[in-house]
Amino acid sequence: MPLDLEEQEQLDQLKAFWQKYRNLITGVLTAVLFAYAAYSGYGWWRNSQALEASKLYETMVSAIVKGDQAQSLRAADDLQKDFARTPYAAMASLIAARLAADTGNVAKAIDYLRWTAKNASNDGYLALAKLRLVTQLIEQGGEKDFAEADQILKETPIAGFEALWLERRGDWYLVQKKNTEAKKSYEDAWKKLDQAKEFPEEARRLLKVKLDAVGGVAQ
């Protein structure tokens, strides 16, 4: 059916618009399609990575049960190398740090904790790694160890771990015989811990012992 004059005019305007902007429209649509494909591909890749990482983590757990520390640490190393962006890598590294420390390989334990403190994406694992790293460095007792621990403790505490951050600062002072500063940090930690009802009673008892040791009073 022939077009009337108004319809023909609208069609001509549409053709002119398309001629002028078709490259831009095509480019935008192409970019959107590529973005969607990339997002879908990333989702598949992420799920695939998590699945493979979980299998390797299970291998590590099995090795621990068997008492095969060498295989346990190899699994942790492989998770760091191949699946660093998954939570399994951080979990495995924390466990590996404990295994290494328990057998006297403190340097290896510190390496695992440093890696986790740098790479963990989960705030809980990140906080745990930093706090345990500070403890290991304080126990080492060298000038560089104290300096590294000091730098970590100067960072903004991860939300929910403020009390433990203050407690570790108290430990840092105490081992250097700065009892006045240690007492202040422990008292501040106690106040924070008293507000955080979710912390286990063991944490409160340990902090109370430290407070008593420096003559502090836990209210």
**pLDDT tens digits, one per residue of 119-158:** 998 899 999 999 999 999 999 989 999 999 999 999 999 9
pLDDT of 193 over the 90 cut: no
CA atoms 50, 53, 58, 61: torsion sign: negative
pLDDT reported for residue 47: 61
* Whole-number Å distance between alpha carbons of 129 and 119: 10
pLDDT of 182 over the 50 cut: yes
Domain limits, the chain: 53-143, 156-219
Tell me the per-residue pLDDT of 157-173, one tens digit each, with 9 for 90 and over. Answer: 998 889 999 999 999 99
pLDDT of 103 over the 70 cut: yes
CB 200 within 8 A of CB 192: no
Fold designation for 156-219: Methane Monooxygenase Hydroxylase; Chain G, domain 1 (1.20.58)
pLDDT of 27 over the 50 cut: yes
53-143 CATH, one of 3.40.190.10, 1.25.40.10, 2.40.10.10, 3.90.79.10? 1.25.40.10
CB 149 within 8 A of CB 175: no
Q: Give the three-state DSSP class for 86.
A: coil
* Whole-number Å distance between alpha carbons of 179 and 171: 10
* Whole-number Å distance between alpha carbons of 1 and 20: 28
Instruction: Cite the DSSP H helix spans in 67-142.
Output: 69-82, 87-102, 106-119, 123-140
The C-alpha angle 186, 214, 198, rounded to 5 degrees, equals 30
Are domains 53-143 and 156-219 of this chain identical in fold? no
- What's the distance, CA 47 to chain centroid? 19
Average pLDDT, the chain: 81
In terms of pLDDT, which residue wins out, 18 or 49? 49
The C-alpha angle 165, 166, 167, rounded to 5 degrees, equals 90
* Whole-number Å distance between alpha carbons of 35 and 2: 42
pLDDT reported for residue 44: 41
